[in-house]
Amino acid sequence: MTTQMTTTIIARIPPVTSVEEIDFSHNFCANYNCRHASPLSIQMVSHERLNTVEDLRKIAKTPVIFLILGREMVFSPLAFQRLPEMLFQGHWDAVAPVYNESIFENQQAFLPVVYQNFRGFLEIAGLFHQAHEAKLQAVEEVDPISIVMRRDALEKLPPGLLLEEIGDSLIKTGGQIGIAKDILVHRFGNYYGSIRTDLLELIPDTARRILDVGCARGATGRFLKKKQDCHLTGVEINPVLAEKAKQWYDHVVVDWIEEASFDSSFDAILCGDVIEHLRHPHLVLSKLANHLEPGGVIIGSTPNAGHWSIALDLVQGYFEYIPVGLQCVSHIRWFTESSLRELLEENGLNVEIIQRDCPPATPTGEGFITTLVKMGMGNESSLRTAELRFLARKGPAQ
């Protein structure tokens, strides 16, 4: 039997949120997976119709069911092809891939390099497959976000069982689940719940009044409050995220930073991945500088538009907006180190620290960088820099 004849791919449609990047991510992943699954097709089913084993039985009738419950995941064509095939390589009830991020240790992939876009992901997914033995490893727990299973195994489960509990239930009843250690699936992390420890390290211990622009759910502020004694103000446009942040911040302004007003000045202002989202970054930087005490600092980060992954895409005629990363869909301004320095200095801020985040390039990226540098047509430092972190200080009052 061919994979196409035996497999039904079912994906649960996530609910609409009020966060632009998250809603874009859901649609992006659905569209990307539909293209990669070809010649198979994916049935997109709403939460209301797909929650239990009985719901799945009504929809999927083929011998193999490829179930996708994760909201923000991208599968390679290799994953769609190989996972159903591997199910028949022994007495397995279900199989699952590994992920770039997972709380399940046996499904955490350790990647040789970090990819920055989905052309890079496909390159690394192929190399990952070549580097690992194409053999299933039996496990006693499995991440429920995606699983490929035999329909006869599904028939043994209670009809009211939640789909997220299928893996655990199969294992507890003696079923065999195998992890394909050579099949990599990309999973987006908790973008709005991450702690910017890299930026927190730059905040002076003496700073007592701190502003966090784009505070999201407040994870960074929560950590900062433990780090030092300070009065912490946050700015967040999304009211849902801002409500979460209020439990950690002394005050949260729910507004665009362009429109937000403040009653005091600050010793330090955090702008982690902010300026690339602004229509008028010059005006915002000027406004923030005016709210700094003399000697106060602005600490921030922004993607580097000169990174090799962007340059390579452009010279090959590509530019793809993605949910999170260098080419995030909500980025409307682009900076290199030189233009970042100009932006800060033109607003009365003296650049004291520039840190460059330079993750290893993929093999394709290494070849591209080497070629450009040898031809005298590329700045190697810029090509290798994915993100720029900065600390800029306001001079003393005149």
Read off the pLDDT of residues 100-155 as tens digits, 9 standing for 90 and up: 999 899 999 998 888 999 999 999 999 999 999 888 999 999 999 999 999 999 99
Report the 10 Å Cβ neighbour count for 54. 12
DSSP one-letter code for 266? E
Mean pLDDT of 260-281: 94
Q: Is CATH 3.90.550.10 the right assignment for the domain spanning 3-187? A: yes
Q: What percent of the chain has pLDDT over 90?
A: 80
Euclidean distance between CA atoms 265 and 283, whole angstroms: 17
Please check the confidence at residue 4 and state whether its pLDDT lies above 80.
no
Tokens of 120: 């890079």
Q: How confident is the model at residue 349 (pLDDT cuts 50, 70, 90)?
A: very high
Residues of each domain in the chain carrying CATH 3.40.50.150: 191-394
Residues 6+ apart with CB under 8 A from 2: none
- Prediction pTM value: 0.88
pLDDT above 80 for 16: no
Does residue 270 carry a pLDDT above 80?
A: yes
What rounded mean pLDDT belongs to the chain? 92
Amino acid 1: pLDDT: 46
Domain with CATH 3.90.550.10 in the chain: 3-187
Task: Work out the pLDDT band at 191, boundaries 50, 70, 90.
Answer: low
Fold type of domain 191-394: Rossmann fold (3.40.50)
SS3 (DSSP) at 109 = coil
Give residue 2's pLDDT: 53
Q: pLDDT class for 209, splitting at 50, 70, 90?
A: very high
In the chain, which residue ranges form alpha helices assigned H by DSSP?
3-6, 20-37, 53-59, 77-86, 118-131, 151-154, 166-172, 197-200, 219-227, 239-245, 281-290, 308-315, 337-345, 363-374, 380-384
Q: C-alpha distances in angstroms, 63 versus 1, 4, 37?
A: 10, 11, 17
